[in-house]
Amino acid sequence: MSKPVDVGDLKEGQYVIIDNEPCHIVEITKSKPGKHGSAKARVVAMGVFDGVKRSFVKPVDAKVDVPIIEK
């Protein structure tokens, strides 16, 4: 189960689904909007089950899936 969240709302320490794998966010860097484009966010995350480092770059208003975790 997951829910869509804006990339701009993500914070370090949260979880996100990348390549159908739940990942723990390690680093987020956001660029400023330019003359002809929107702001972008670069997210670096580590896989929860396999420990593989994954990353993506998307506009801050794009949606990504965040897993719903029951503690």
DSSP codes of every residue in 43-59: EEEEETTT--EEEEEEE
Q: Which structural domain range is residue 40 located in?
A: 2-67
Contact 14, 2 (CB under 8 A): no
pTM of the shown model? 0.85
Q: What's the confidence (pLDDT) of residue 63?
A: 96
Give the number of domains in the chain. Answer: 1
Q: What is the pLDDT of residues 9-67, one digit of tens each?
A: 999 999 999 999 999 999 999 999 888 889 999 999 999 999 999 999 999 999 999 99
CATH of the domain at 16: 2.30.30.30
